[in-house]
Structure 1
Amino acid sequence: MEGENKHRSLSLWQVVVIGVAYMAPATVFDTFGIISRVTNGQVPLAYLLALVAMLLTALSYARFSRLSPKEGSAYTYTTETCGKTMGFFVGWCSLLDYMLLPLINALLAGFYLNSIFPDVSYTTWVLIMVGLVTLINSFRINILANFSFVFVVATLIMMLVFIYLVVTGIGDSQGYSQVMTLKPMFNGDPELTTLVAGVSLVCFSYLGFDAVSTLANETKNPTKTIPKAIIWTTLLGGAIFITVSWFVTLQFPTLAQFKNPDEALPEIALIVGGAAFQTQLLTVQIMNAFASGLATHASASRLIHIMGRDGIFNKRVFGSVSTKLGTPLYSIFFVGLISLLAIYVDLATVVNYVSFGALIAFTMVNFSVFMKFFVIRKERTGFKNLFMNLFLPLASVLSLLGLWINLEKSALEFGGIWLCVGIVLVLYKKIKRQPISLGSPVEEVSNS
C-alpha cells in the first residue's frame, strides 16, 4: 500500500530503543523489595529464568514476523493461523494490557512528580503527563523514537553511576574481592515455589518484544528488521534487569536495611549515593515513566488502529491514518482518554489486571507456531523441524504454566469480565450485520 510504505522510516535500533523504553528498565529499582521478599533474595536468578522463558516466546513472535510485513501482535498471528474467532478474542484480551500500561505510566509519573513538587496536585501532573505523551505520539514515529532514545540513554547512564557507587563503596570498605563474586545470583535460601512465584512477577517486565511487533508498518524492511528487533529487545532488556538487580542484591543481600521494602527505590538511592543521588535517581524514574509512557501509548494506539481497520471498532474513526503525519490520530487520542483514568485508580489494582491479557497473548502465539508450521504447513520431518515446530512451542507453553498458576484471582475475574464484554461486542456486530474482516488486506482510511 502506497500510504503505508510512505511512512516506513524506523531503523532496527530505533525499534529496539522503543521496545526497551516500553519495558521501563528502571522499574527494577521500584520492584526490588517486592521480588526479593517473594524469592527469598534471589532477584537476579528470577530475572534470568524469566529471560529464558520470555526468550522462547520471543522466538515465536520473531518467526511470525518474518512471514508478513503487516503489523504483528498476538492478534494478527492468531487470526492468520487459528481463525477469525480465536484471533478476535486474543486481540480483545491483549487490548486489555495494551491500554492499561500507558495508564500505569501516567500514574507513576504523577506520583513521582507530586513527590518532588507537592504544591502541584497529582491530578495536574497526570493531566500534563498524558497531554505531552499524546501530543508527541501524534507526530511521526521518528520523533517518538528520538525521545525514547534520549530517555533510555539517560536511564542507562544513571544505572552505570549506581553500579559504580556500589562497586567502589563495597570495594573500599570490604575489599574488591567481595565484588567479584557469584553470591548475588545464588543469594538467600533457594526454594522452587518461591522462585517460580518471583519469575511469574518479573516476566511481565519483558513485554517490550510484544510491542515491537506492532510497529511493522512504520519500519524499514519489516520482515527482516522486526524479528531482529524482537530478539534484541528481549536480550537487552534481560541484560539490564539481571545486571542492575545483581548489584542491588550485592549491596542489599537482605531487606533488613529497608524501612519500607515494597517501595525500596528512595532508600536504595539514599544508602548508596546520598540525598543528591536520591534526587537524581528519582528524576530518572520520571524520565523512565515518560519514555515507557511514549512507547506503550504508541503500541496501544497501533493495536486499536489495526482492530479498527479490521472492523472491530469504527473503521472510519479508528482505522484511519493522518495523511499529514502518518499516525493513527483518533486511536492515539482514545488511548490518551483511557490514560486519564490514572486520576481515579490505584497502582496495585491496575498492575494485577495487566497479566491476564499478556498471558493469553503469549500462550496463543506459541500455540499458533505449532499450528502454522507443524499442522498447517506439515513441516515435521527432520530434527530441526521437530525442534522448532513442536518441542520449542511446547517448551514455551510449559514455561508459561507457572505464570498461569501464580496469576492473581482478581486478574482472572477481571479478565473474565473483559472477555464477556468482547462476546457481547461480537454478538452486537452480528445483530447489526456489521462485518469484522480480521486478517484482511491493509486498506487504510485517511484523515487529515
Structure 2
Amino acid sequence: MSKTAQLQRNLKLIHVVAIGIAYMSPFAVFDTFGIASDVSSGHVPMAYIIVFIAILFTALSYGKLVKKYPTAGSVYTYTKNTINPYVGIIVGWVTFIAYLALPMINSLLAKIYLSTGVPGVPGWVWIVGLITIISILNTFGVKIAASINVLLVVFQFLMGAIFIYLNVRAIVEGPKHFISLNELFPANMEFSGVFAGAALLALSFIGFDAITTLSEETMKPKKTIPKAILLVASIGGVFFFSVTYFMQSLFPDVSVLQNIEGASPEIASIIGGNLFLSFFLAGALFSVFASGLAAQLSASRLLYALGRDEVIPKRFFGYLHPKFNSPIPNILLVGVLALSALFLDLRTATSLINVGAFTAFSFVNICVIKNYFKYKKEGSLNFALSNLIGPLIGLGFVLYLWSNLDWYSIIIGLIWALLGVLYLGVSTGLFKKEPPQIEFDELEG
C-alpha cells in the first residue's frame, strides 16, 4: 500500500444517515414489541421515550468527539488520544465484537425468515448467501453500499408508514381507542417495568455510533457526522415511538396474541391480511440485509484504523484497494468471521453486541468528561452542562444497562477483553512500546 493511500471523502449527509439508520435496523421495533410490551406492562411507547432521552446524551458526546477526531477509528481513536493509547486499543478491541456480532445476528435472522418461507432450502445456504452478497457489495466501495442502503431504508419506512395506517384504520373501525397522554404513563407512576423495557429496547438505537467510523469518507466530517448522529437517533426515536404508539393502542394487552415473541407478523396479518404480511416480511428481510451491509462496512473501517496505526499488522489491515478505495482484506475477514453464525445462536450473538456497544457508550462519555477537566473554563455554565453533566447522565444510563446484563454476556466480554490484553502485551513487549499515533491534521480534509 502506498504511504499516502487514504480513504476518500465521497459520502454526503444523506448517505451517512442512511447507513446509520440501516445499521440501527428500524424493523427491530417490530421484533421486540411483543416482549417489550409484556415486560413494560403495555407501556412500550413510554419506554422508548425514556431510552431516547437517555441515549441522546451519549449521542451528543459522540458528536463532540468526532469534531475533535474526524477519523475512521471511532471510540478507539477517542479513547486512545483522550485517556491512554493502551486503553484505547483495548476499548477498540472490545467494541469490535459488537460490529462483528451484528452481521452474525442478521445472518441468523435471514435464515429464520427465509427458512420459514422456503423450508426446503438448508438454513446454512441463507447464511452463506447473505454474507457473500454483502461482502461483494462492500468491496466496490462505500458509495455503492451507501446508495443501496438509501433505497432499503426508504422501503422500510414505507412499510412502517403502511403498517401505521392499517393500525389507525383498525382502531377507528373497531372498539379500541388511541392511547391518551395519561395512559402513556404507568398506573401510580410505577416505572420499574417501564425502565426494564427501556433497558431491553436500548439496543434499538445502536447505529448512530457506527457512522463515526465513516468520518474519513464523509465530506466536511466535523459538521456532517455530528449532525448525522443526532438525525439518526432522532429519526429512530420518532419512528419507534410512532409505530409502538399505534400498535399499543390496538393491542394494549399482547397476551391476547398467540405468540408474544412473534407479535408483529401476527398483527400485520390481522390488520392487512396475507398480502400485506408478505410485504411486511420483505421489509424485515430488507432490514436484515441493510443492517448487515452497514455493520460489515463499519467493522472493516475500525479494523483499517487499527491496522493503519500498526496495532495489528498494517500490511493486511491497513491496505486500501487502489481502484475501489476500500479495505478489501478487512471486508473479507469480517465476512469470514461472520460465518461463525453457522455455529452460534441468537443469544450468544446478542450478548456480543451488548458488551461491545455498552463499552463504546461508556468510554465515549468518559472521554468527554475527562476533556471537561482538561479544558475547564472557569465560570462557564454551558460548558459544564454539555461537557460534564450531560455525559454523566449518559454514563449513568449506560451503567444501568450494564447492571441489566446477564452473567453470560459479562463472562463473554471479559474473556474477549482478556484476549485483547494478552495480544497487546505481547505486541508491545509487555506494554513497554508506545503504540503509533496519527497526525489528525493530515486526515481532516
Normalising TM by the smaller chain, what interval? over 0.9
Q: Determine if contact 1:79/1:438 at 8 Å carries over to the other structure.
A: no
Secondary structure at the residue paired with 2:320? Answer: strand
Q: Determine if contact 1:42/1:190 at 8 Å carries over to the other structure.
A: no
Deviations 1:305-335 (A, max 9, x none): 1111122221100111111101000000011
1:190 Cα deviation after fit: 5.4
Question: Comparing 394-403 with 404-413, which one deviates more in the overlay?
Answer: 394-403
Residue 341 (structure 1) aligned with residue 340 (structure 2): yes
Output the CA distance in 2 between the equivalents of 1:366 and 1:203. 16
Task: Identify if the C-alpha distance between structure 1 residues 443 and 58 changes in structure 2 by more than 3 Å, giving closer, same or farther.
Answer: closer
Secondary structure at the residue paired with 1:261? Answer: coil
1:150 Cα deviation after fit: 0.9
Task: Identify if the C-alpha distance between structure 1 residues 275 and 434 changes in structure 2 by more than 3 Å, giving closer, same or farther.
Answer: farther
Aligned residue runs from structure 1 range 416-431, under 5 A: 416-431=414-429
Gap regions ≥5 residues in structure 1: none
Residue 222 (structure 1) aligned with residue 221 (structure 2): yes
**Equivalent position of 1:370 in the other structure:** 369
Output the CA distance in 1 between the equivalents of 2:315 and 2:88. 21
Q: Determine if contact 1:65/1:213 at 8 Å carries over to the other structure.
A: yes
Secondary structure at the residue paired with 2:254? Answer: coil
**C-alpha RMSD of matched pairs (Å):** 2.1
Q: Determine if contact 2:27/2:287 at 8 Å carries over to the other structure.
A: yes
Output the CA distance in 1 between the equivalents of 2:268 and 2:188. 26
Aligned residue runs from structure 1 range 17-36, under 5 A: 17-36=18-37
Deviations 1:165-216 (A, max 9, x none): 11111112238xx237336633678533222221111111111111010001
Output the CA distance in 2 between the equivalents of 1:192 and 1:279. 37
Task: Identify if the C-alpha distance between structure 1 residues 132 and 378 changes in structure 2 by more than 3 Å, giving closer, same or farther.
Answer: same
**Equivalent position of 2:263 in the other structure:** 264
Deviations 1:35-92 (A, max 9, x none): 1111111111111111111110000000111123322521111111001011111111
- The letter of the residue matching 2:418 is C
- The letter of the residue matching 2:356 is G
Deviations 1:419-442 (A, max 9, x none): 110111012213499966354237
Secondary structure at the residue paired with 1:323? Answer: coil
Output the CA distance in 2 between the equivalents of 1:127 and 1:13. 30
Question: Comparing 186-195 with 408-417, which one deviates more in the overlay?
Answer: 186-195
Q: Determine if contact 1:133/1:294 at 8 Å carries over to the other structure.
A: yes
Percent identity reads 37
1:132 Cα deviation after fit: 0.3
Q: Determine if contact 2:424/2:431 at 8 Å carries over to the other structure.
A: no
- 1:414 pairs, out of 412, 415, 420, with 412
Secondary structure at the residue paired with 1:208? Answer: coil
Task: Identify if the C-alpha distance between structure 1 residues 417 and 136 changes in structure 2 by more than 3 Å, giving closer, same or farther.
Answer: same
Aligned residue runs from structure 1 range 154-173, under 5 A: 154-173=155-174
Residue 75 (structure 1) aligned with residue 73 (structure 2): no
1:30 Cα deviation after fit: 0.9
Aligned residues: 440
Output the CA distance in 2 between the equivalents of 1:43 and 1:296. 26
Deviations 1:75-132 (A, max 9, x none): 1111110010111111111011111011111111121111111121110011110000
Question: Comparing 263-272 with 208-217, which one deviates more in the overlay?
Answer: 263-272
Output the CA distance in 1 between the equivalents of 2:230 and 2:138. 24
- The letter of the residue matching 2:310 is G
Question: Comparing 224-233 with 433-442, which one deviates more in the overlay?
Answer: 433-442
Could you state the TM-score of these two structures normalised by the residue count of structure 2? 0.94
1:235 Cα deviation after fit: 0.5
Output the CA distance in 2 between the equivalents of 1:322 and 1:188. 59
- The letter of the residue matching 2:6 is E
Residue 318 (structure 1) aligned with residue 317 (structure 2): yes
Output the CA distance in 2 between the equivalents of 1:131 and 1:380. 55
Output the CA distance in 1 between the equivalents of 2:178 and 2:296. 40
Output the CA distance in 1 between the equivalents of 2:267 and 2:195. 25
**Equivalent position of 2:6 in the other structure:** 4
**Equivalent position of 1:247 in the other structure:** 246
1:255 Cα deviation after fit: 1.4
Q: Determine if contact 1:22/1:291 at 8 Å carries over to the other structure.
A: yes
**Equivalent position of 2:308 in the other structure:** 309
Output the CA distance in 1 between the equivalents of 2:384 and 2:364. 17
Task: Identify if the C-alpha distance between structure 1 residues 296 and 183 changes in structure 2 by more than 3 Å, giving closer, same or farther.
Answer: farther
Output the CA distance in 2 between the equivalents of 1:163 and 1:148. 22
Q: Determine if contact 1:44/1:184 at 8 Å carries over to the other structure.
A: no
Question: Comparing 11-20 with 259-268, which one deviates more in the overlay?
Answer: 259-268
Residue 200 (structure 1) aligned with residue 202 (structure 2): no
1:380 Cα deviation after fit: 4.1
Q: Determine if contact 1:353/1:410 at 8 Å carries over to the other structure.
A: no
Q: Determine if contact 2:67/2:222 at 8 Å carries over to the other structure.
A: yes
Secondary structure at the residue paired with 1:228? Answer: helix
Q: Determine if contact 1:166/1:247 at 8 Å carries over to the other structure.
A: yes
**Equivalent position of 1:153 in the other structure:** 154
Q: Determine if contact 1:65/1:72 at 8 Å carries over to the other structure.
A: no
1:226 Cα deviation after fit: 0.7
Task: Identify if the C-alpha distance between structure 1 residues 274 and 184 changes in structure 2 by more than 3 Å, giving closer, same or farther.
Answer: farther
